[in-house]
Amino acid sequence: MRDLRIRVVPVVSNGRLVGVVSYKGILMSGVGRATKVRSVMEPPYGINFMSSVDDAIAKFVLWKAKASPVVDEGNRLVGYLSRGDLMNFLLVNGLLPKMYVKDVMTSPAVTIEGSESIARARWLMLRNGISRLPVINHLGGIEGVISMTDIVERIYIIRLTRRKGFEQFEEEFLAAPVKEFMSAPPIYVTPNQTLEDVVKTLSNYGITGMPVVSEGKVVGVVSGVDVLKAYARQLIYEELVEAKIPQTLRVDGLVKSQVETLVNEYLSDIRRVTNVINFSINLREESKGGRKRYVVRTRLVCDDGVLTSEGVGWDLLSAVRDSLETLEKRIKKLVSRGKELRRSRSRRET
């Protein structure tokens, strides 16, 4: 993955796609050098090689995918498609919408100061369902960018080069300030640049997203999926999920935006393995031992059944993530079990 600069790797058995491995999956699993691929791979998903480009873009938007295997009718791996491939197709063929960065960026952005630790950067990414953080100084000025890729690659370089005692070096890395490992100077765009500028910048530097900066301050972030979403608006009806947060919780706009981003990030992962028919989320506040805590319940109706989950936390985002993570694990386990049963039935019939 590091050598080829790819974020998703297909896992194949006898020529057929059986799973995928991603940086996010590796980071969340906390695996070591002896861990087998099958223990961290996610259920397989892919684009049929006979699909139209418009259909592929629609799936990338719904899945928020950075890349996808391409398979034939027998689920045999025949290729690989990335966001960059699709964006460059739109660019070369003059199909990019005539829009500006300010029209498609996500704002406000989640940021981190350069003096804060790598461990906190990792926590912020997983907590908010994002893969990069703009790094700012104490005055709010942009200094660099730290990504999930940077963190995963560094951790596994430590684990792979040191058979013993890697824990100490890993702890030292996680405790180190972000500014020592961030990419600098930062690659960014301004709000008034065009989507064509975004595609060319992402392609030239081989990155999937970047900060949006105005007068030296971060005002948002923009990624390849934002570009594809702008094109896809004319192709599909995108189901927007809004977390219904009671007014009594007094949640500010930033937290509400973070909740919605996290919800849609997990939903995009779930959509890769099953068709989502309906999704709902309920959030409430309660007292426990004199302290305020949040209880979050989610309910998912999909082609594979109906699942519910509950998350509890002392802050709202932690409770939301707890519930969504449980829901995602359950649906992936259910889908994997169903596929295994179908394979067993097929072997018995033959």
Which pLDDT score is estimated for 338?
A: 72
Q: SS3 of 3, please?
A: coil
**Position 60 in a domain:** no
The answer to whether residue 340 sits within a structural domain is yes
**What's the DSSP call for residue 307?**
E
Structure confidence by residue, pLDDT tens digits, 74-83: 999 999 999 9
Overall number of domains in the chain? 1
pLDDT of residue 238: 46
pLDDT of residue 240: 46
Q: Which two tokens stand for residue 90?
A: 């739109």
Model pLDDT for residues 228-261, shown as the tens digit of each residue: 999 988 664 444 444 556 666 666 666 777 787 7
In a domain, 274, yes or no: yes
Tell which residue, 54, 7, 14, 10, has the closest CA to residue 343.
14
Residue 29: predicted pLDDT: 66
- Alpha-carbon distance of 332 to 327, in angstroms, equals 9
The domain that holds 250 is classified in CATH as 3.30.160.100
The mean pLDDT value of the chain amounts to 85
Higher local confidence (pLDDT), 272 or 104: 104
Residue 261 structural domain? 239-350
Q: Are 78 and 176 in contact (CB under 8 A)?
A: no
- Report if residue 164 sits inside a domain: no
DSSP, collapsed to helix, strand or coil, labels residue 186 as coil
- pLDDT of the residue at 324: 92
For 287-304, what is the mean pLDDT? 86
Tell me how far apart the alpha carbons of residues 221 and 244 are, in angstroms, rounded to a whole number.
24
Q: Which residues contact 213 (CB under 8 A, 6 or more apart)?
A: 142, 186, 188, 189, 190, 219
Q: What residue type is assigned to position 187 of the chain?
A: I
